[in-house]
Chains A and B, each alone.
Chain A
Amino acid sequence: MATQVYRKSKLRRALIWGDVRKRRLGMLAYVLNRITGHGLVLYLYLHLVILSMLAGGPSSWDPFIALAKSPAFLVLDVILIAGWLIHGLNGLRVTLTGLGIGVRSQKAMFVGLMTIAVIGIAAMALAVFSKG
């Protein structure tokens, strides 16, 4: 019984960061960093699996390239870019505040960096779809 409660508590403790109700901006930034981080780890290994098609030569790779230029794939590209910019810029804030830089202005820094991220996502989305 005690073990069951302990296990349940461990799970709750590990997942409690995902509960964004009544959280302040700092916690929301932390949750955002974790969610984008998980997504990017998943993408990294998915990307490596897809790249394995290159080992099969042009007959394996070139048909995939035609598919990868479809609008659905381009939307996935934009989602990837969004995850990269949000995680990268938010991670930069985490690193700076972790080093004691800009701790008092971290909320303003978060808003500023996320504004840059939104502008970057829009610009890169335009670049992706103009080439697709």
Chain B
Amino acid sequence: MDNRFERQPAPSWGWFWQAVTGVGLIVLLALHMIAHHFVVPEGLRNFDEVVEYLRTPIIVVLEFLFLATVTPHALLGVRAFVFDFGLSERAERRVDRILTVLGVLTIAYGIWLTWTITQWKS
């Protein structure tokens, strides 16, 4: 009988990408926190300030990079946790597909929201 507990751990590409995105996040999250909270006089931006902030091209690039890094990092963490349940290979593939779709939707939502805000006319 197949003992699933004795199977080799999941392929290490998940660990590799989580490490790469994790190192990237140390820089990107620090920039995100500084730009959003620590350089703003009262700690948080009101709506008009958010619109002005997001209309700066370099900020849009920075925010996109942040979202495109934090999302796979978070979902790879969820993947590692779920895989610890000792799933079958079929179930693992299904989890991979679900998390990929969730990741794409998350990034797409971030892009849509940024675009919506920058197009706001007061």
Which residues of A from 51 to 65 have beta carbons under 8 Å from B? 51-52, 54-55, 57-58, 61-62, 65
Q: Which residue of A has the minimal Cβ distance to B42?
A: A131
Contacts of A41 in B (CB 8 A): 74-75, 77-78
B113 at the interface (CB under 8 A from A): yes
Chain A interface residue bracket vs B: 35 or more
B66-110 interface with A by 8 A CB criterion: 70-71, 74-75, 77-78, 81, 84-86, 106, 109-110
A57 to B119, CA, bound (A): 11
Number of interface residues of B (CB under 8 A): 39
18 more contacts with CB within 8 A, not counting A44-B70, A88-B26, A94-B19, are A10-B85, A10-B86, A48-B106, A48-B110, A48-B113, A54-B47, A54-B50, A54-B117, A58-B48, A65-B46, A88-B29, A95-B23, A128-B43, A131-B37, A131-B40, A131-B41, A131-B42, A131-B43
